[in-house]
Amino acid sequence: METKFKKLISEIVRLSSGLYQKDFLLTWEKSNDEIKQILLVAEILKYLRENNISLRCFDSGLAVSIFRDQSTRTRFSYASAANLLGLKVQDMDESKSQIAHGETVRETANMISFFTEIIGIRDDKYPGIGNAYMKEVAEALDDGFRNGVLHQRPGIINLQCDIDHPTQSLSDLLHLENYFGSLETLKGKKIAMTWAYSPSYGKPLSVPQGIIGLMTRFGMNVELAYPEGYNLKPEVIEIAKNQAKESGGSFKISGSMEDAFKDADIVYPKSWAPYSVMQQKTELYKNNNEQGLKDLEKYALSLNSNYKNWECNENLMKTTKHGSALYMHCLPADISGVSCEHGEVQKEVFEKYRILTYIEAGYKPYIIASMIINMLFKEPDKILRNLQNRASVRKG
């Protein structure tokens, strides 16, 4: 135990990081060293917990969650991470707040932050709104702290917005690191991030954008595939292209799921809505046009139905590298013959990789806990050493 712990700690010390007192909103806003530090701290936290060592860093304090969309994995991962470190989770239910009575974002942000260490926000349904809302909360907290309203300025974690899903993509990266052995072994690996059919409407673009916005930084050959019209946010595409050049990897866009799967080491078939449709959805939402939203849903579902053949099945999996590519998904997957008649993945394929997708999801609490520690402690290596030296048993 001691040897592995010391090795991981020494790797952290060598990194140049500026995560302290900085919000985590988009992965491409962070340096490679900062991304690596998030992964390393997550690894250490997982290692210590598996050795039954308490990871409580706080005697008190709140971890506030604001979920503006439905969630299972991310909601419970956030709560698990906060509890692991000794923070109490308080969910901000906007329907029970004074927001309906005209309370501003600036006021709400300050009122929920008097003894708050961290705020996790999920706002992913409408392009142009979620990330902007997180920035508005951040500015309100800066104002409150600067003017002495808040004794400390809580950190903000993006639990999924309209642009990126950093806790998911970093969990995926940690899963790949462990599955293949190291970050270095990912260089030259082909990952196919492909659209897949779903009978539902309006799935966010943040997962595919998060994947291409992170995996292109580590020398991987990233191929994005989707039917005509299902393009992603142009700015994120440019980021992925530039990062691939810098890392020595590649980034390619194709209109064929078959081409993307061919010789792939990793496949990530996931449905999302066309960017243009999501833009229309935002405008209709802003104008409270309920009938327009219903009509748009019918149109989007009709559009999806043209591409039911975009399914991850056994025949496609046989065309991957050695016929044994790693299947990944953020969950819940639309499983043909299980959760729906036609979906993203054939039930036989999903069942083969089901446990691995659960393991993939299991990294998220550690990623979130790592973000909290790196934001709130200037020298996380010392905090981790203290936890290890203290060696308090987690349970009797």
* pLDDT at 96 > cutoff 80: no
Is 395 among the domain residues?
no
Domain contains 334: yes
Q: What is the mean pLDDT of residues 156-179?
A: 98
Count Cβ neighbours within 10 Å for each residue of 324-333 and write b for 16 or more, e otherwise.
ebbbbbbeeb
Region 76-103 average pLDDT: 89
Report the pLDDT value the prediction gives residue 356, as an integer from 0 to 100: 98
Q: How many structural domains are present in the chain?
A: 2
Share of the chain above pLDDT 70, in %: 98
Whole-angstrom distance, CA of residue 286 vs CA of residue 275? 17
Q: What's the pLDDT score for residue 393?
A: 64
Which neighbouring-strand residues pair with 155? 118
CATH number of the domain residue 176 falls in: 3.40.50.1370
Sign of CA dihedral 78, 91, 384, 13: positive
What pLDDT score was predicted for residue 58?
96
Mean pLDDT of the chain: 95
Do residue 215 and residue 280 come from a single domain?
A: yes
Domain contains 58: yes
Q: What is the pLDDT of residue 396?
A: 45
Per residue, what are the HEC states of 108-138? Answer: HHHHCCCCEEEEEEEECCCCCCHHHHHHHHH
**DSSP letter, residue 65:** E
Total count of residues recorded for the chain: 396
Tens of pLDDT, residue by residue over 235-256, are 999 999 999 999 999 999 999 9
CA distance 214 to 223: 13
| Alpha-carbon dihedral sign for residues 389, 36, 77, 179 | negative
The Cα angle at residue 114 between residues 109 and 117, in degrees rounded to 5: 85
In angstroms, the CA 325 to CA 119 distance is: 37
**Phi, psi of 161, rounded to the nearest 5 degrees:** -125, -170
Assess whether 93 and 136 both reside in one domain: yes
Confidence class for position 394, pLDDT limits 50, 70, 90 = low
Q: Give pLDDT tens digits for 276-333.
A: 999 999 999 999 999 999 999 999 999 999 999 999 999 999 999 999 999 999 999 9
Q: Is 212 a domain residue?
A: yes
Q: Which domain holds residue 91?
A: 2-164+364-390
